[in-house]
Structures are given as structure tokens and as C-alpha cells.
Structure 1
Amino acid sequence: MQTTASGERVLQTPRAAGLAGIVFALLLAAAIVLIRLGIPEGAGAVTVQGFTDSAQRTAVRTALRLVPFAGIFFLWFVGVVRSHVGDAEDRFLATVLLGSGLVFVATLFGAAAAALAVLDTAHPPGSTPGLPTWDFGRHLAYTLMTGYAMRMAAVFTCSMSVIGHRLGVLPRWLTVLGFLTTLILLLVSSNVPWVELAFPAWSLALSVYILVVSGRTL
């Protein structure tokens, strides 16, 4: 809470909220790694024999438990980002930033639900998973994550990088990193495994920068 020159009391973003982006980046990275390890992708993963391993199923279930919390912390992260930009933000870019962030979370949840369907439908307890159901669920989960969620993440990253460049609220190296992350997520996220980790890596870098800068201004 802060009092303005006119005597009005306004709420300020607590500095601890800057940690939301760091927590989000770590949770999302952990979920991506566990899903990649638990549900293989590619020509060598069209059978379900490898998924009979309980360790793989445990890895996927652990990842799915992390996804809702990653989404919650991402929404806090969006709030922190907009607070860092301040009142000078461009309304058009700010709308794109917020909209892409919300669609990213919704699509990420959809990918998690699809992955959960692979576990509960394709491999119920005491039965052998069927290849058609397994293949459909696996491809649906990866399509939602790499084809849609990561492209929304690319729009979010690009919007923030443009805002940071135009208003000067981000250093040059961070905006360049954001544009590179955008290109990677837009062009190769559907074809090259593991590149989706570029988004939590960029989010982590941005969160650390905002946290450091907010500490200096106290």
C-alpha cells in the first residue's frame, strides 16, 4: 500500500510476487521434462510396451500434478510483468500479451488433460493399453503442447519483447533473447523435441531481471 501525492492510497505489487515467474519457469520445465520422459514421442514410440513401466507412469502423473500450479503461477507472472511495464504500456500490445497468456494457460491445461487420458483410458489398472487409444492420446497431448501452447507462448514472448524494446523497460540482451525464443517456438517447436524448454528459460531470465530491478528501487 502506498499513498500518492493527492492523498489517495493505492495497492502496489509486492516484491515477493516477482518470485512467481521463477516458480512458474521451474514447474513448467519440470513438467515438460517428466512428460517427455514418461510419454515418448517419435517413430520409435508408436508401441505401448515401454509405457508399461510404472516409473514412466509415475513421471507423467507427477508432471500432471505440477501443471495446474504452473498455470496459477504463470497468471501471477503475467501480473508481475504488466506491473513492471507500468502505465506506459501500449494498449494493443498489452491486450495481445494478456490474451496470448490466457490462451497459453488454457491450452497447457488441455494438453495435461489429454496426457491424463492416456493414463486413465489407454492404460487402466489391470488391463493392457490399446494401441489406437494410446496413439491418439499421445499425439493429441503433444499437438496441444508443441503445436498450440508453445505458439501462444511465442506470441506472449514476442509481445513482451516488443513492449520492452519500445518502452526501454528491458535491457537489450533480454529483448534479443525474447525474439530468438519467439522464432524457436514458432518455427521448430513442433518438430524438434525439447525446444519448448526455451520458454521457461526465457521466463526465468525475465523474472530474475524484474526481481533484481524491483529490489534496487526499494
Structure 2
Amino acid sequence: METSTARLNMVKSQIMPNRVSDPLVLEALGNVPRELFAPKAMRAVAYVDEDIPLGKGRFVLEPLITARLLQAAEIVPEDVVLDIGTGTGYSAAVLSRMVSTVVALESDPDLAAKAESTLIELGVDNAVVITGPLAEGCPRQAPFSLIIVNGAIPHVPAPLRAQLADGGRLVAVLREGPVGRLVVVERHGNAFGQRTLFDTDAPLLPGFEPAPSFIF
């Protein structure tokens, strides 16, 4: 099957039937070649609704989870986005079609290099890839009107909250035990609110493990 047809089928058969209707989200997902961000051995199944393993506990999130994260973010074209755990850059490429600026943060240097080269190959000129610890965010580029976390995390670290602009929001899957919930954190001045939208799941994103407590 041609990849353009596979992308169209992904949007029409996987995403739209699952209550994703934001036209910005649908257009972006329908036009970014997901297969370029997958390992060569996985490219033939790039449009199956499954996570694509990248090694080292990392994944390209399945299309539906990506779509639901983006729809929950209520994206507007003026957004400046911190894309945490971009992996090989698929989420950054999708976001680049929807917002003014994307800062794509990746902790693994090899994945970051792949993300940068693929974004350049696609001619993306409003996204930059930065290598660094995921839980620390990018304080030098802050504040951000939107932060997207590409994977499940046990909690939202304080540094990420602090990097939200006033009126900004952070979208992530919080997992407590086996249960994952998609949440939106919003900043209003120095106050933060959190809304839970629905139960969902995503692979745990390395780098957010709580520090072990000291035991005498």
C-alpha cells in the first residue's frame, strides 16, 4: 500500500472514529510521513495503531494516543511548544504543522540526531531539537504556551510547571500503577489547575522515575 493511502486510512479508520475531530490535528497527522520516523525494519507497519519501538525503552506513540494528546491540548497556531521525549521527531514534525515554534527535547543523543536529520529532510524550519534531561525541560527557551509529554509519567515535575507561560497548559498521561489518565495542567499566574479528561495508556517515558528514598 502506498504510504499516502496508508496515512489517509490511519486518519479515517483509526483516529476519526475515536472522537478526534480537530481539523488541525487531522490535517497534520494526514500529511506527516510517519514511516520516516520508524526504524527501517518497522516502516511497513508504521500506520498500524501500535507504538513503534525505538529501543532503550523508547517508542513512537501509537497514532491514536498522539491524536488524543494533541486534541486535548486545544492547539492554536500561535502556540510555542515544548515537545518532551520527541524520540525520532515524529511528534515535533506533526506539531510543526500546527504551531509557530516547536522546541523538541530528547535525552538520547542518537534519537536526537535522527530527529534533527529527519526534520531537516522534510524541510521543517520552525522546530529545533535540543538534547537534555527530559524532566528538566528547557528553561532557557521558556516560557511555553504548551508542553506535550510523549509517554506516561508518574507525576509532573515542578520544573515543567514552572516553564509554562501564564495561561499555558501541559498535556500528559499520568500513570499510577496500571492505570493511565490523560490530564491537562493549566497555569494561571502562580496557581496551577489540573483536569483529568479520560483513562488511557502509553508506554512509560524514561527519565521521570522518582528518586529512591533513603533508608537507614
Smaller-chain TM-score bracket? under 0.3
The higher radius of gyration belongs to: 1
TM-score, with length taken from structure 1: 0.26
Q: Quick check: which one's helix share is greater?
A: 1
Greater RCO, CA 8 A, separation 6+: 1
Structure having the higher strand fraction is 2
